[in-house]
Amino acid sequence: MPMAELDRRVAGCRACPRLVEWREEVARVKRAAFRDETYWGRPVPGFGPADAGLAVVGLAPAAHGANRTGRMFTGDRSGDVLYAALHAVGLASQPTSTRIDDGLELYGTRITAPVKCAPPANKPTPAERDRCRPWLEAELALLRPTLRAVVVLGAFGWQALLPVLAAFWRVPVPRPAFGHGVRHTLAAHDGGDPLHVFGCYHVSQQNTFTGKLTPAMVEEVLATAADAAEIRHK
Ligand code: SF4
């Protein structure tokens, strides 16, 4: 299945009743600042080329960010930090990501999440996370021929992603712990190229407003991961 077809199917999924209800209610009620906009209100597919060498993985779309705009990390403060950093290291065509039709392109990089629908309080249940797993598995299967590195944003994304990676690469037991700047190299089950997995604090306001995570820290992880994936960048 081509990536565009997978993205189309993801966007039509209604498998989690609680998340379907939440994402659609948020889209109906809206935040006052976006009252004149039509929210996406559906699952948010990954964004970026199907032959990416690097994946950036969060946890789930934000209620008034990607759930509004229909594109990962687009239209919220977390995305402001992430896309500015991607642009600073040469992985994005522009430093801002405000709308799905703003012309933004990613270079060699795809942004995705283990849970495709915005959850209440940004917390999917374990059952919702597990139900969504086949979508990310299918996405990784398509990326597998070119994917060489992953940057995982935050401990929750890390916990959700490692079991999915285990379908293709050897994940040590016990699983490696999350930390900012950690790097693990996973051998492939099929003897193919290994995958370099990097931890990065989540680009949430909680981390960026407090200075726990600075733009330079994000850029450093992204640049190191792009080097590991052998993507030409700044
Ligand atoms: S979270 Fe995943 S499995 Fe659940 S409804 Fe959304 S896309 Fe479907």
Q: How far is the CA of 132 from the centre of ligand 1 (A)?
A: 5
The DSSP letter of residue 114 is S
C-alpha distances (whole Å) from 22 to each of 27, 32, 127, 133 are: 8, 17, 16, 19
Angstrom distance (rounded) from CA 218 to CA 2: 31
- 64 located within any domain: yes
Residue 15: inside a domain: yes
Q: Reduced to 3 states, what is the DSSP secondary structure of residue 210?
A: coil
Q: Does 173 fall in a domain?
A: yes
pTM above 0.95, yes or no: yes
114 Cα–ligand 1 center, Å: 9
Is residue 234 scored above 80 in pLDDT?
no
User: Would the CB of 132 count as within 6 Å of ligand 1?
Assistant: yes
Whether residue 232 is predicted with pLDDT greater than 90 in this model: the reply is: no
pLDDT at 87: 98
Report if residue 219 sits inside a domain. yes
Instruction: Determine, yes or no, domain membership for 39.
Output: yes
CATH number reported for the structural domain that contains residue 184 in this entry: 3.40.470.10
Residue-wise pLDDT tens digits, 153-203: 999 999 999 999 999 999 999 999 999 999 999 999 999 999 999 999 999
**DSSP labels for 145-168?**
TT--EEEEESHHHHHHHHHHHTTT
Most ligand 1 atoms within 8 A of CB, residue of 59, 72, 112, 128 to mutate: 128
Pairwise CA distance, residues 135 & 133, whole Å: 5
Q: Is residue 233 part of a domain?
A: no
Q: Which residues constitute the domain of residue 179?
A: 3-228
Q: How many domains does the chain have?
A: 1
Domain-located, residue 72: yes
Q: How far apart are CA 230 and CA 191, in angstroms?
A: 19
Averaged pLDDT score across all residues of the chain: 97
pLDDT (tens digit per residue) in 117-151: 999 999 999 999 999 999 999 999 999 999 999 99
Cα–ligand 1 centroid distance for 191 (angstroms): 32
